[in-house]
Structure 1
Amino acid sequence: MNKLIVNISALVICTLMIFVSTAAADDVMDTINEAIAQYKNGEYSAAVESLEYASNLILQKKGLQLKKLLPEPLPGWAAEEASSQAAGKIMFGGGVTAERTYNRGDKSIIIKLATDSPLLQSIMMMFTNPMFAVSDGGRLERIRGQKAIINYKSATETGTINIVVANRFLVTLEGDHVTKADLMAYANKIDYRALTDLP
């Protein structure tokens, strides 16, 4: 049992260290070092909690990176302040999201960027089996080279676009009182290259 705990703890610590520069002492490194000390003292539960906390700090940093890639509003539109949040893998299954709402009169579009999300696999399955994508009126298209599922209802002026980027990121646009052209304009404004280049 102790050997298993050693192996798991070592694996988690090594994984966390990949994402953090050892040259800079910050909250993440301080928490990891605290977890190591707790482990050496036999405080296994405390060590696990510290590692989870360090993991959440890293996810927060990823969330800030995602937030910076939310586009500026198109001419004539206004945008609310972007937000981001991270969910720990142990408690909530993981996932980092950033989102921003754009308004123009009655028109409203929400753009969400997500990574490490459990939803990503289910969306990717739709691309593998187009029957799932078109079952509720969706259409498969490409937007700036990215595979997308577009579902727009002209009768209600509502629609969604789901885009999978580099098999790691899920981009979702949700529009209310908008045209399909409005949704496409914002989908084309996202910097997919910068998104792909994120670590």
Structure 2
Amino acid sequence: MFGEPNGIYSEALTFRGFAMRRSLLLATALVAGLAAVPARADEVSDAIAEAQRAYQAGQVQSAQTALQEALQLIAQKAAAGLAAALPDALPGWTADEATSNAAGAGMFGGATASRSFHNAQGQTVEIQVMSDNPLIAQLGPILANPMLAGAMGRLVRIGEQRAIQGNDGNVQMLVDNRILVQVQGDAPAEAKLAYARAINVARLSAR
């Protein structure tokens, strides 16, 4: 009488094990892409090795925790990479320290980085960059289509990238269809455009 439930339970365990093996393989592949950053890659490799040891010992929960740690470390590196692409203060301006955040399972998820700039008149420009964010899926098709983008504001060029500058002077740009750049604040439109053009877009694309 217990044959069928036991069979279902066995299948569930098999599926869970398969999912864990897939996650381990994914994290291992991500580590291979971080070889150029030894310090961070070592941390990720250690967490994945811990997950593998726990999984092989049948400690599924511990393996899952270690694997989540590895993925969070990777997300933190992604966020730091976004921050590194933000510009320094332009002449006549001062800059706050760039900040970054990796929200692995938050409401918006993905990685974000931002930096604020101020001038002697008390005006402010803020740059925010985000990747792998659900907001990008909504804005992406609009920003990628010149006709739709033109309806949102004036089309401008940031290097080889197409961007939109709204009537308020704010600038939005999509890099590689996965990284959203927003430049806003109460500074004049030309200042916001200048800061948009000071972003290291090539560094964003290389991530």
TM category, shorter: 0.7 to 0.9
In the TM superposition, 1:64-75 aligns within 5 A as 64-75=80-91
SS in 2 for 1:119: helix
Equivalent-residue separation in structure 2 for 1:95 and 1:44 (angstroms): 26
| Higher strand proportion | 1
Q: What does residue 139 of structure 1 align with?
A: 154
Corresponding residue to 1:151 among 166, 181, 195: 166
Equivalent-residue separation in structure 1 for 2:61 and 2:71 (angstroms): 15
Letter in 2 for 1:172: Q
Q: Say whether residues 1:170 and 2:180 are aligned partners.
A: yes
Equivalent-residue separation in structure 1 for 2:102 and 2:110 (angstroms): 6
Equivalent-residue separation in structure 1 for 2:115 and 2:106 (angstroms): 25
SS in 1 for 2:63: helix
Q: What does residue 161 of structure 1 align with?
A: 171
Q: Say whether residues 1:121 and 2:137 are aligned partners.
A: yes
User: 1:141 offset after TM fit, Å?
Assistant: 3.4
SS in 2 for 1:34: helix
CA change 1:81–1:141 in 2 (3 A) is same
SS in 1 for 2:86: coil
1:98-144 Cα offsets, whole Å, 9 max, x none, are 11100003210111121112211111122356786566x53343322
CA change 1:91–1:35 in 2 (3 A) is farther
Equivalent-residue separation in structure 1 for 2:69 and 2:148 (angstroms): 37
Letter in 1 for 2:184: E
Corresponding residue to 1:20 among 31, 44, 47: 31
Q: Say whether residues 1:94 and 2:104 are aligned partners.
A: no
Corresponding residue to 2:100 among 68, 81, 84: 84
SS in 2 for 1:74: coil
- Cα RMSD, aligned residues only: 2.3
* Runs of 5+ consecutive residues of structure 1 not aligned to the other structure: 154-158
Contact 2:81 2:204 in 1 (8 A): no
Q: What does residue 197 of structure 1 align with?
A: 206
Q: What does residue 156 of structure 1 align with?
A: none
Equivalent-residue separation in structure 2 for 1:60 and 1:113 (angstroms): 14
> Normalized against structure 1, the TM-score is what?
0.84
Corresponding residue to 2:195 among 169, 186, 191: 186
In the TM superposition, 1:24-63 aligns within 5 A as 26-63=42-79
State the aligned residue count.
Answer: 190
Contact 2:127 2:181 in 1 (8 A): yes
> Normalized against structure 2, the TM-score is what?
0.81
Q: What does residue 110 of structure 1 align with?
A: 126
Equivalent-residue separation in structure 2 for 1:166 and 1:183 (angstroms): 21
